[in-house]
């Protein structure tokens, strides 16, 4: 679903005024994007669901304090990213991530591979993306798939704009090299 920032802003304003229906619609509009982002960061669909649920709790609790409803996306993604980082920290302190968890196939990858109507070019890109680090995958996804501007990504990741630009440059180059390797 293509998100309309003006409509999301209206939903946030209505939610801040206590409109439960507006909040439900906001959740429905963002849930899939949040889940995909959490899967990229945790590499585990079950953990991603937990992180998304925890993020929504924090988002709902903090929504009234959001001063600029137009900033909902970056604000909410930052909360979600922090919940995912917390989950990864908890897991790594309990035990080292096992290889099967790191190599586990992501849900969006499975969808691409299981549907014959998805052309070979898309499959090639998915395979090349898998060769990138999770951080590079997430950054490229925030920019290209989720449509966030560099400044919004900087806000989400809590890093300087220049760092986002640099990391995007390196992620694009890594993707290019991975795609060139696919062609060989």
In 55-164, the DSSP E strands lie at: none
What contacts 24+ positions apart, CB below 8 Å, involve 82-85?
A: 83/38, 83/51, 83/52, 83/54, 83/55, 83/58, 84/37, 84/38, 84/41, 84/42, 84/48, 84/51, 85/41
pLDDT over 50 at 2, yes or no? yes
The conformation of residue 143, written as its DSSP 8-state character, comes to I
Looking at the chain, the domain(s) classified CATH 1.10.1740.10 span 1-104
The Cα 26–Cα 20 span in angstroms is: 10
Give percent of the chain with pLDDT exceeding 90.
Answer: 50
Lowest-confidence range among 43-47, 50-54, 110-114, 176-180? 110-114
pLDDT in tens, 72-112: 999 999 999 999 888 877 776 654 444 444 444 444 554 44
Tally: H helices and E strands in the chain: 10, 0
Question: Whole-structure pTM over 0.75, yes or no?
Answer: no
Assigned fold of 1-104: Rna Polymerase Sigma Factor; Chain: A (1.10.1740)
What backbone phi and psi angles, to 5 degrees, belong to 82?
Answer: -65, -40
**For position 98, what pLDDT does the model report?**
43
Contact, 18 vs 60, CB < 8 A?
Answer: no
**For position 133, what pLDDT does the model report?**
84
Angle between helices 72-94 and 20-42 (to 10 degrees): 40
Q: How many residues does the chain have?
A: 184
The Cα 150–Cα 148 span in angstroms is: 7
In the chain, the DSSP E strands lie at: none
pLDDT over 90 at 44, yes or no? no
**For position 175, what pLDDT does the model report?**
92
**For position 68, what pLDDT does the model report?**
95
The Cα 139–Cα 158 span in angstroms is: 13
Query: Does CATH place domain 105-184 in 3.40.50.150?
Result: no
Grade residue 145 by pLDDT with cuts at 50, 70 and 90: confident
Grade residue 182 by pLDDT with cuts at 50, 70 and 90: low
pLDDT over 70 at 118, yes or no? no
Q: What is the CA radius of gyration of the chain?
A: 17
Q: What is the mean pLDDT of the chain?
A: 84
Q: Quick one: average pLDDT of 142-157?
A: 89
Lowest-confidence range among 81-85, 98-102, 146-150, 157-161? 98-102
Looking at the chain, the domain(s) classified CATH 1.10.10.10 span 105-184
**For position 105, what pLDDT does the model report?**
43
Q: What are the residues whose beta carbons fall under 8 Å from the beta carbon of 159, sequence distance 6 or more? A: none
Contact, 61 vs 36, CB < 8 A?
Answer: no
């Amino acid at each position: 679903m293509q998100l309309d920032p003006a409509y999301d802003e209206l939903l946030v304003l209505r939610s801040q005024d206590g409109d439960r229906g507006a909040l439900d619609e906001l959740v429905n509009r963002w849930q899939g994007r949040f889940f995909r982002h959490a899967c990229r960061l945790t590499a585990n669909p079950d953990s991603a669901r937990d992180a998304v649920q925890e993020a929504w709790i924090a988002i709902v609790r903090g929504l009234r304090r959001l001063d600029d409803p137009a900033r909902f996306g970056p604000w909410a993604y930052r909360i979600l990213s922090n919940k995912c980082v917390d989950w990864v920290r908890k897991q790594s302190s309990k035990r080292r991530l096992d290889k099967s968890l790191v190599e586990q196939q992501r849900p969006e990858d499975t969808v691409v591979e299981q549907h014959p109507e998805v052309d070979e070019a898309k499959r090639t890109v998915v395979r090349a993306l898998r060769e990138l680090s999770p951080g590079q995958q997430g950054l490229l996804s925030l920019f290209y798939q989720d449509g966030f501007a560099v400044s919004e990504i900087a806000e989400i990741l809590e890093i300087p704009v220049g760092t986002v630009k640099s990391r995007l440059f390196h992620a694009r180059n890594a993707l290019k090299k991975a795609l060139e390797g696919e062609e060989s």
